[in-house]
Amino acid sequence: MTKWLLPREKVLRDPVHNYIHIRNQIILELIDTPEFQRLRRIKQLGTASFTFPGAEHTRFTHSLGVYEITRQICDNFVTNYPSRNHGQDGLWDDNERLVALCAALLHDVGHGAYSHTFEHIFHTNHEAITQQIITDPHTNINRILRQVASDFPQKVASVINHTYPNKQVIQIISSQIDADRMDYLLRDAYNTGTNYGLFDLTRILRVMRPYANGIAFNANGMHAVEDYIISRFQMYQQVYFHPVSRGMEAILTHLLQRAQYLYHHCGFQQQPTLLIPFFEGNFTLTDYLKLDDNVLNSYFVIWQNHPDKILRDLAQRFLNRQPLKSVRFTQYTQKLIPHLQALICQAGWDADYYTAINTSYDLPYDTYNPNNTKAQIEIMLPDETLEELSAVSELVAAISNKKIGDQRFFFPKAMLGRHLTPDDPHYALTQTFRKYLLNDALIDPKII
């Protein structure tokens, strides 16, 4: 791949990796495409910046970071392990570098504005769109990738969808300890200002190694890998599943749903042109690529003055950070939710738009199961046999195969009736509402 080498390495400053190093013309051209630059306008963590104000970073910087970690992995492999070009015993073929780098850079290119929420409502699929952006002959990204070879776009896409023949490359980009996860943990920790996500990246990269069928970690680095798993566990508990961010997501969901409803039933005076293909369930790639956080937010700015009371109110709540409150519920307390909803209706709220249930669970580490496309983590012992991570780490074993997360019921803050006096018409109703929350132990440990 030397033909694409730049005359001089270029670097981009990055607060997490210090510098992003680029030696390949193809990478530079991919970064300069409109499809990739668009990621500058999509926040990495969606509504989390409403909880952690510093979390303003985007999928653009994250994608560069995943590229950089992949580059460092390849550098390590080519320096320290025998080349597959030079004999049958080789462990790493550096001709795989370019496909790995491109897949790393582009793995999230199909993400859209507030992806998780948006996909749920409009049935888009960022993974499918990532594939499409890479393989559709009309995109800039496809055009650049085709310079390498006519089947190169397909190769890059196959790494991302796990069908590429070389499992090493797949595992670098997508496994339970891949360049993607390592970058987002470090970057999210850096920008939120929490330190749960910190782990020793240098050490992990040092002990990461290719073997015949994949990637393993030398046993003397087991504890660094263990620490990474714990970090991920803690980031899910402390950051990714934070109830306030989810309370804002609930607002966002209902806001988009209300807009779609109005589009179909009343129309808009000033049409949200770029959203219409999605309201109608009939969108092209070009339509999709026009959406980003900025476009959605600017509609919300306009909708703050919309005549529909619910749309207007939800838009204001989203822009001005007024999350729904929530309580955790369990299988035993789930039966109370209809009662709560009834009270909320009695208080004059439209329960469709002002209540929600959100279930957030993650498996921090998953030993082998046949449906999991993410490879388990293998530790290579000094005799070159492999052991699955949870077999050698008590800490990891303790959290393996256990889902973490919770189910929460979301409702308007006003239902708590704080500051209401007994002569307020809703006083009795909010008292009943609070009694359900407290006496029936719906909540643990508190209302957020």
Among positions 71-130, residues that touch a second copy (CB under 8 A) are: 80
String of DSSP letters for 337-396? HHHHHHHHHHTT--HHHH-EEEEEEE-SB----TT--SPPPEEEPTTS-EEEHHHH-HHH
Q: Is 238 in the site for a second copy (CB under 8 A)?
A: yes
Q: Is the separation of the CB atoms in 141 and 36 below 8 Å?
A: yes
Query: Could you give the CA distance from residue 75 to residue 296 in angstroms, rounded to a whole number?
Result: 40
C-beta of 368: minimal distance to a second copy in Å? 21
Q: What φ, ψ does residue 103 adopt, rounded to 5°?
A: -65, -40
Whichever of 146 and 413 has its CB closer to a second copy, that residue is 413
C-beta of 170: minimal distance to a second copy in Å? 27
Six-digit token string for 440: 């029936």
- Kindly indicate which of the ranges 46-54, 154-162, 254-262, 349-357 contains the residues binding a second copy, using the contact rule CB under 8 A: 46-54
Q: Is 57 in the site for a second copy (CB under 8 A)?
A: yes
Whichever of 345 and 404 has its CB closer to a second copy, that residue is 404
- Kindly indicate which of the ranges 35-43, 167-175, 407-415, 417-425 contains the residues binding a second copy, using the contact rule CB under 8 A: 35-43
Distance, first Cα to last Cα, the chain: 54
Among 47, 49, 355, 390, interactor with a second copy by CB under 8 A: 49
Among 47, 58, 130, 174, interactor with a second copy by CB under 8 A: 58
C-beta of 346: minimal distance to a second copy in Å? 27
Whichever of 159 and 239 has its CB closer to a second copy, that residue is 239
* Cβ-based neighbours of 47, under 8 Å, separated by 6 or more: 114, 245, 246, 248, 249, 252
Scan residues 251-310 and list those touching a second copy (CB under 8 A): 270, 273-274, 290, 292-295, 297-299, 301-302
C-beta of 8: minimal distance to a second copy in Å? 8
- Kindly indicate which of the ranges 50-58, 116-124, 162-170, 424-432 contains the residues binding a second copy, using the contact rule CB under 8 A: 50-58
Whichever of 131 and 191 has its CB closer to a second copy, that residue is 191
Q: Is 425 in the site for a second copy (CB under 8 A)?
A: no
Whichever of 404 and 416 has its CB closer to a second copy, that residue is 404
Among 230, 250, 340, 377, interactor with a second copy by CB under 8 A: 230
Query: Could you give the CA distance from residue 279 to residue 269 in angstroms, rounded to a whole number?
Result: 16
C-beta of 367: minimal distance to a second copy in Å? 15
Whichever of 237 and 341 has its CB closer to a second copy, that residue is 237
- Kindly indicate which of the ranges 37-45, 103-111, 277-285, 366-374 contains the residues binding a second copy, using the contact rule CB under 8 A: 37-45
Among 143, 402, 403, 413, interactor with a second copy by CB under 8 A: 402
Q: Is 149 in the site for a second copy (CB under 8 A)?
A: no
The structure tokens 């388990």 sit at: 376
Q: Is the separation of the CB atoms in 176 and 377 below 8 Å?
A: yes
C-beta of 265: minimal distance to a second copy in Å? 23
**Gyration radius of the chain's alpha carbons:** 24
* Cβ-based neighbours of 106, under 8 Å, separated by 6 or more: 30, 36, 63, 130, 133, 134, 141, 156, 160
Among 4, 190, 211, 436, interactor with a second copy by CB under 8 A: 190
C-beta of 395: minimal distance to a second copy in Å? 6
Among 206, 312, 328, 434, interactor with a second copy by CB under 8 A: 206
Query: Could you give the CA distance from residue 173 to residue 156 in angstroms, rounded to a whole number?
Result: 11
Q: Is 220 in the site for a second copy (CB under 8 A)?
A: yes
DSSP state of 41: G
Question: What are the distances in angstroms from CA 255 to CA 8, 44, 45, 248, 394?
Answer: 49, 21, 19, 10, 45
The structure tokens 């080789």 sit at: 90
- Kindly indicate which of the ranges 58-66, 86-94, 104-112, 423-431 contains the residues binding a second copy, using the contact rule CB under 8 A: 58-66
Instruction: Write each residue from 361 to 400 as x if it is in contact with a second copy (CB under 8 A), else as -, in one continuous string.
Output: --------------------xx-----------xx-xxx-
- Kindly indicate which of the ranges 15-23, 130-138, 334-342, 415-423 contains the residues binding a second copy, using the contact rule CB under 8 A: 15-23
Quickly count: other Cβ atoms within 10 Å of residue 335's Cβ: 10
String of DSSP letters for 136-197? -TTSHHHHHHHTT-TTHHHHHHHHHTT--S-HHHHHHHSSTT-HHHHHHHHHHHHHHT-STT
Q: Is 345 in the site for a second copy (CB under 8 A)?
A: no
Quickly count: other Cβ atoms within 10 Å of residue 217's Cβ: 23
Quickly count: other Cβ atoms within 10 Å of residue 23's Cβ: 17
C-beta of 161: minimal distance to a second copy in Å? 27
